[in-house]
């Protein structure tokens, strides 16, 4: 009996890590089996679109994400060298202690030692914090105890997490990224707003007093505060800054790119409902499921749409359009119907009219199975379920190389 309980516990506890967990559903068709496009975008010209962008961003705040904290730049409290010749001499690790609107967090940057000019940077939000993302190094600051999940340490629970969600769910392939010429910036958003309903409510009330807010809006704001730091350092190329996120962090990465035009490229991997997937699609994770399971992620208004999401006045193709003409990669997996890759494809198609206004072809692939890393909007699929696998990073790096010309 105890053995059976232990096995069930080890399988169940990783599901707390990611949210929006995968479901073992049939393979997603490569060609669309639902309506081919998102609802038409308003506006007939570039001037009309640009005039209305701020109002559209506010509608997303009102209807889905809530208000972000004020745009106060991050304040650097301390900056230290961790290791000058890390990863076999490939990279230099530095750590910043930052004050973000009164809350402390740590930013770790890893620069490729081979660089002779300002480098492109990919900002990553990982689920278990910077120390775990770098293999448990004790010279890297850990998350605070209230933001630390037991799955994130070196215990036996760590094994099923990696088995279920993939080799790179906790740690990015640092040496591969450095070899492609990119710097890495690691930030743990749980330092600012923990992924816990009660703890998040308290932090959001302090960061955004007297206005409805959600954790995803705050986590998107954390990406922007990292951009503050990078843009103040000439070693980082301010015109080649990417944000990356998986699952709930993918939602935050997409929102960050939509509201912060300093972000030059977005990789939103399996971002699903409230991310790249159309809310009105009728497939994938429902509004009711996501807002009841994770009520702290969104504005209260979004939960109010649970029983009539077909009446949403805005949808995610418009959020994608706010990125135009900057590159967006949407990652997916063939058996991850919960994240609804077909609906994400339709949302990307629906953003095409705005990309065309800027002279970009936007999404050009005819189906989910024809990934083109050089396109300004691309969808990259791989076998399997929800998680971060080696093939995902092959796709991410191909996309970064195509748009940032480093390799």
pLDDT of residue 153: 61
pLDDT mean across residues, the chain: 90
Contact 348, 371 (CB under 8 A): no
pLDDT of residue 160: 75
Cβ atoms within 10 A of the Cβ of 407, count?
A: 12
Contact 50, 325 (CB under 8 A): no
Cβ atoms within 10 A of the Cβ of 334, count?
A: 19
pLDDT reading at 10 higher than 70: no
CATH topology of domain 2-404: Rossmann fold (3.40.50)
pLDDT of residue 220: 98
Q: Over the stretch 237-263, which tens digit does the pLDDT of each residue have?
A: 999 999 999 999 999 999 999 999 999
Task: Give me the mean pLDDT over the 311-336 stretch.
Answer: 96
Task: Give me the mean pLDDT over the 179-188 stretch.
Answer: 98
Q: The whole model's pTM is what?
A: 0.92
User: Three-class SS of residue 237?
Assistant: strand
pLDDT of residue 23: 46
User: Three-class SS of residue 15?
Assistant: helix
Structure tokens at 248: 């709930």
93 dihedral zone (left: phi>0; alpha: psi -120 to 50; beta): beta
Q: Over the stretch 119-145, which tens digit does the pLDDT of each residue have?
A: 999 999 999 999 999 999 999 999 877
From the centroid of its chain, how far is CA 152?
Answer: 19
Of all residues in the chain, the percent with pLDDT exceeding 70 is 88
Q: Over the stretch 45-102, which tens digit does the pLDDT of each residue have?
A: 999 999 999 999 999 999 999 999 999 999 999 999 999 999 999 999 999 999 999 9
Q: In this predicted structure, which of 146-160, 200-214, 284-298 has the lowest mean pLDDT? A: 146-160
Angle between the N-to-C axes of helices 341-357 and 46-60, in degrees from 0 to 180, rounded to the nearest 10: 140
Q: Over the stretch 290-323, which tens digit does the pLDDT of each residue have?
A: 999 999 999 999 999 887 777 889 999 999 999 9
Task: Give me the mean pLDDT over the 173-185 stretch.
Answer: 98
Pairing type for strands 328-333 and 75-86 reads unpaired
pLDDT reading at 168 higher than 80: yes
> Residue 404 belongs to what H/E stretch?
helix 390-404
pLDDT of residue 42: 56
Q: Over the stretch 349-407, which tens digit does the pLDDT of each residue have?
A: 999 999 999 999 999 999 999 999 999 999 999 999 999 999 999 999 999 999 998 65
Which pLDDT band holds residue 16 (cuts at 50, 70, 90)?
very low
pLDDT of residue 206: 97
Cross-sheet strand order for the sheet of 236-246: 75-86, 91-100, 103-112, 183-187, 119-125, 236-246, 265-269, 328-333, 377-382
Q: Regarding predicted confidence, which is higher, 305 or 151?
A: 305
pLDDT of residue 44: 65
Contact 109, 154 (CB under 8 A): no
pLDDT reading at 17 higher than 80: no
Distance CA 407, CA 404 (A): 9
Cα-based distances in Å from 117 to 90, 170, 242, 351:
15, 30, 17, 34
């Amino acid at each position: 009996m105890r053995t059976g309980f232990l096995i069930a516990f080890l399988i169940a506890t990783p599901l707390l890590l990611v949210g929006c967990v995968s479901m073992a559903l049939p393979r997603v068709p490569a060609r669309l089996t639902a309506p081919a496009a998102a609802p038409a975008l308003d506006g007939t010209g570039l001037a009309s679109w640009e005039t209305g962008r701020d109002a559209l961003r506010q509608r997303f705040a009102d209807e889905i994400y809530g208000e972000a904290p004020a745009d106060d730049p991050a304040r650097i409290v301390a900056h230290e060298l961790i290791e000058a010749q890390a990863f076999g001499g490939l990279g230099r690790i530095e750590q910043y202690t930052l004050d973000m609107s009164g809350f402390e967090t740590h930013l770790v940057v890893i620069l490729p030692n081979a660089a002779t000019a300002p480098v492109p940077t990919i900002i990553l939000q990982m689920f278990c914090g910077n120390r775990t993302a770098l293999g448990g190094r004790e010279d890297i600051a850990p998350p605070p105890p209230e933001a630390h999940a037991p799955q994130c340490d070196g215990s036996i629970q760590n094994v099923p997490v990696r088995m279920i969600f993939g080799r790179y769910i906790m740690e990015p392939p640092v040496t591969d990224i450095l070899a492609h010429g990119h710097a890495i910036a690691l930030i743990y958003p749980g330092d600012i707003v923990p992924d816990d309903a009660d703890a998040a409510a308290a932090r959001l009330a302090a960061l955004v007093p007297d206005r409805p807010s959600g954790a995803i809006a705050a986590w998107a704001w954390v990406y922007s505060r990292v951009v503050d730091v990078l843009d103040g350092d000439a070693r980082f190329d301010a015109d080649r800054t990417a944000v990356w996120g998986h699952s709930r962090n993918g939602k935050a990465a997409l929102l960050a790119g939509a509201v912060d035009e300093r972000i030059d490229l977005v990789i939103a991997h399996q971002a699903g409902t409230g991310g790249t997937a159309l809310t009105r699609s009728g497939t994938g994770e429902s509004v009711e499921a996501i807002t009841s399971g994770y009520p702290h992620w969104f504005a209260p208004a979004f939960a109010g749409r649970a029983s009539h999401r077909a009446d949403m006045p805005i949808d995610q193709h418009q959020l994608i359009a706010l990125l135009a003409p900057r590159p967006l990669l949407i990652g997916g997996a063939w058996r991850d119907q919960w994240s609804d890759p077909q609906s994400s494809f339709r949302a990307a198609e629906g953003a095409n009219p705005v990309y065309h206004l800027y002279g970009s072809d936007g999404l050009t692939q005819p189906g989910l199975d024809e990934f083109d890393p050089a396109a300004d909007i691309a969808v990259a699929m791989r076998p399997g379920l929800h998680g971060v696998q080696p093939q995902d990073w092959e796709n991410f790096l191909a996309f970064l190389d195509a748009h940032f010309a480093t390799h």
